[in-house]
Amino acid sequence: MKKLIVPVILAGFVIGLVAAPSIAQQAKEPAPQKQPSTRIIIPKDVKDALNAGLPARQGRQDIPFTIFKSTYLPAQQAFYIILIAKMKNADLGFAPAPPSQVADVAAPAGNKLRATFDMFLDFHKIENGAPLPASKEVYIPVTLEQDAAGFDPAKEEWYSVGYALMPGDYVAGIAVSTHDLKKIGTQYYEFKLPDLTAIAKALETTPLFFVKDLKNVGQAEQRPELHKGMFRYSVLEIIPNIDQVFTAGDVLDVFFTIIGAQASPENKYSIEVVYEVTKGEEPAIKFQPAMYEAPLISHPLPLKQTVQIKTGDQVKTETRDLPPGAYTLHLKITDKISGNSCAKQYDFTMK
């Protein structure tokens, strides 16, 4: 049922994007707020470890992890960057949770494993190829819980964390540490958030990704948290298809936001997107053009192709699941109000 309710879930959320300030207004940096001089967000030991590896982007492996992917979405005056990490269960210190700490009070003691640690984000803007002093520091206390039955220490899970930043080039220093700071793991990740003024007269999109599931949880996240197997965006909880692999019967739900489209005086957009799937140079599926009145898009595309079968003099048409193989989704996006357009593509695999 998820595919049928996506437009309803997004309807109220899109209003906030449509009513957001203009492109020029969004690009203005808000005045920085003074912080108390005694406030320490990142402990000295962690800060020293992050600073030591920053010039060469050399991570520290006390607690191994990898930031392997990111995406971003609009956040009115900024962009919401989502960093995605892989971490192995064995490296996170899972241990039997005391009965008083088990979230499920009905669960017998010893049936739950718990890991508690700290995560720190240290965002540096990059100018002339060099990182500036940190402009944002973030502390995220983490508690993870898993069933003891079937727990696999060697299993690698993926996690996400998000934060709103102004446009610019960045390097994020990410640290994961034990509470006592005896073990500190660090990694670095560079990313770019586009300058909205530079694309005010063009058409662009946020990075495309495919959605497995999406729901409105009713309230935006009040402070950054580490999430397992999904990410948060405002009131939305999104489970992406992280490896872009699909099987017969799946739906290709592409999620992205169009940047630079112009709205009518009634604050409505007129955006056309033509979707097509190819296998190498050969066409596989061509969909009817879709029209949108808002720039935030979650569009389900059935992975079915129509084929003609000729038997003697007779030709019949059949609809089949897309066969296994490597494919590319192509998008041709046109803003009917401004006349601007752009093209995007994204690879995926059928198993």
- The full DSSP string for 206-267 is PPPEEEEEEEE-SS--SS---EES-EEETTEEEEE-TT-EE-TT-EEEEEEEEESPPPPTTS
Closest CA to 332 of 277, 293, 262: 277
Q: For the domain made up of 211-350, give the CATH fold.
A: Immunoglobulin-like (2.60.40)
Instruction: Please determine whether the domains at 40-199 and 211-350 fall in the same fold group of CATH.
Output: yes
Q: Are 26 and 276 in contact (CB under 8 A)?
A: no
- Alpha-carbon distance 210 to 176, whole Å? 28
pLDDT at 100: 63
Task: Report the SS3 class of residue 53.
Answer: helix
Give the pTM. Answer: 0.85
Classify residue 52 by its DSSP letter.
H
- Alpha-carbon distance 322 to 77, whole Å? 41
Which is the CATH superfamily of the domain at 40-199?
Immunoglobulins (2.60.40.10)
pLDDT tens track for 56-111: 999 999 999 999 999 999 998 799 999 999 999 999 999 999 876 555 555 555 68
How does pLDDT run along the chain (351 residues), one tens digit per residue? 344 344 444 544 443 443 333 222 333 333 333 443 446 799 999 999 999 999 999 999 999 999 999 999 999 879 999 999 999 999 999 999 987 655 555 555 568 999 999 999 999 999 999 999 998 999 999 999 999 999 999 999 999 999 999 999 999 999 999 999 999 999 999 999 998 777 767 899 999 999 999 999 999 999 999 999 999 999 999 999 999 999 999 999 999 999 999 999 988 999 999 999 999 999 999 999 999 999 999 999 999 998 877 777 777 888 899 999 999 999 999 999 999 999 999 999 999
Counted residue by residue, the chain has a size of 351
| Sign of the torsion angle spanned by Cα atoms 39, 44, 50, 51 | positive
Task: Enumerate the domain spans of the chain.
Answer: 40-199, 211-350
Based on its alpha-carbon atoms, the radius of gyration of the chain, rounded to whole angstroms, reads 23
- Alpha-carbon distance 90 to 179, whole Å? 17
pLDDT at 1: 37
Q: What is the 3-state secondary structure (H, E, C) of 100-130?
A: HHCCCCCCCCCCEEEEEEEEEEEEEEEECCE
Angle made by CA atoms 223, 163, 81, in degrees to the nearest 5: 150
- Alpha-carbon distance 91 to 87, whole Å? 7
pLDDT at 306: 85
Task: Report the SS3 class of residue 5.
Answer: helix
Task: Report the SS3 class of residue 281.
Answer: coil
- Alpha-carbon distance 171 to 193, whole Å? 11
- Alpha-carbon distance 334 to 346, whole Å? 18
Task: Report the SS3 class of residue 322.
Answer: coil
Closest CA to 78 of 219, 161, 193: 193
pLDDT at 312: 74
Residue type, 301: L
Angle made by CA atoms 247, 253, 256, in degrees to the nearest 5: 140
Closest CA to 323 of 285, 287, 300, 350: 350
